[in-house]
Structure 1
Amino acid sequence: MAIGVPAELARRRNRVFRPRDLGDIYAHPRAEVARLANAGAVRRLANGYYALVPQQRWGDHTWSPDLNAVAMGVGQADYGVDSVALMGLSAARIHGAIPRALATAVVAAPKQRPPLIVDRGAVVFVARVVSTLDVERTRTELTDGWVTTVEQTIIDLAHRPTLGGITELDAHEAIRAMTTQADWTLVKELATRSHRPSALRTALEIADA
């Protein structure tokens, strides 16, 4: 299918973009993005945000990316790769502790902002300094980036179990599912470093249950 996606766009590390990001490619980015969306080469995620459709799915208007991938991609588009990380329930999902897809994704970012409603749910932004978190690399279908480690995720879920709209019971089940993966010496170190003794007590109680 001759859709005419320029190589500079096709090679983007982050496949989520804003029309203004393409000013060095197009003289009229919004018009060109609208053309690509009509052709099925990009998908509108929310007002001002688009994702490049995988080439093998060009023309397929039913394609929709994973919500956690969208959260990471949007965060990187706005703040840069090293300033955002999937956390909380999204990190638990990445680590296999939440088996079902959720309608909310949580991403650490430099500042708090209202949730972004996208076609598969909502992206919740939490003001955290990513360099102070324990993170590791992960790959999504839209971009590569940071996710909090199992140990950091346990502390975060114990501290704010309902962040993103899950129940406290679900958060505790996710912590329990990560119990055998965790380095509990590191969990204790992270809790001490972030001054969250009550979160550590909660996590230890859940792990011992």
Structure 2
Amino acid sequence: MKKEFAVIGLGRFGGSIVRELIELDADVMAIDISSERVDEYAHIATQAVAADTTDESVLRSIGIRNFEHVVVAIGENIQASILTTLMLKEIGVKKITVKAQNDSHEKVLRKIGADQVVHPERDMGIRIANNMVSNNILDYLELSDEYSIAEIKANDKLVGSTLIDLDIRAKYGVNIVAIKRGKHILVSPQAIEKIRLEDILIVIGSDEEIHKFEKKALH
């Protein structure tokens, strides 16, 4: 059976989620208070509905409880975001992901029961900044305030060495959890695995440890 999602708020963030979920062969109900935005997604989403999601009776009438995962991607209206999340919790939606505008917004969302809170603009800013300061860091994803996952391109200093030779965990405190090699991904690579040219190391660790590894091992 196809997975079923509802996305509330069809701005750039919510709209991109709708499009990607459809590409991934999911069923998606696209919801927005603006009928113009709903019309835009009428031929993209499985179903598109114009609705005021701060009204519990409206949410119930569109069968929101039937969706296993609801994304609240409401843009600037923080009050509507909070009220919608609260209504979804009271109705009994199993999983709710909400876009936060700032840290205070996130605190409120977590207090009222949001399962996952995302900061797309902040997270993208962090990724772009890390890419800008290093030619080796290809991507950067925060796991928490202190820990991240980074994709780091291996350079000549690492090529030909095995993971056990490099002893990266002991020296820098980061763990190599996978190696991207062309179209293939080696998950939990063995200690005897040799680094090749063009390999991309997927490492996990604290932000401080990742930057220490990138600066000292690759320069």
Do both proteins adopt the same fold according to a TM-score greater than 0.5, normalized to the shorter chain?
no
> Which has the bigger relative contact order, CA under 8 A and spacing at least 6?
1
Structure 1 or 2: larger strand share? 2
Q: TM-score, normalised to structure 2's length?
A: 0.30
Larger radius of gyration: 2
Structure 1 or 2: larger helix share? 1
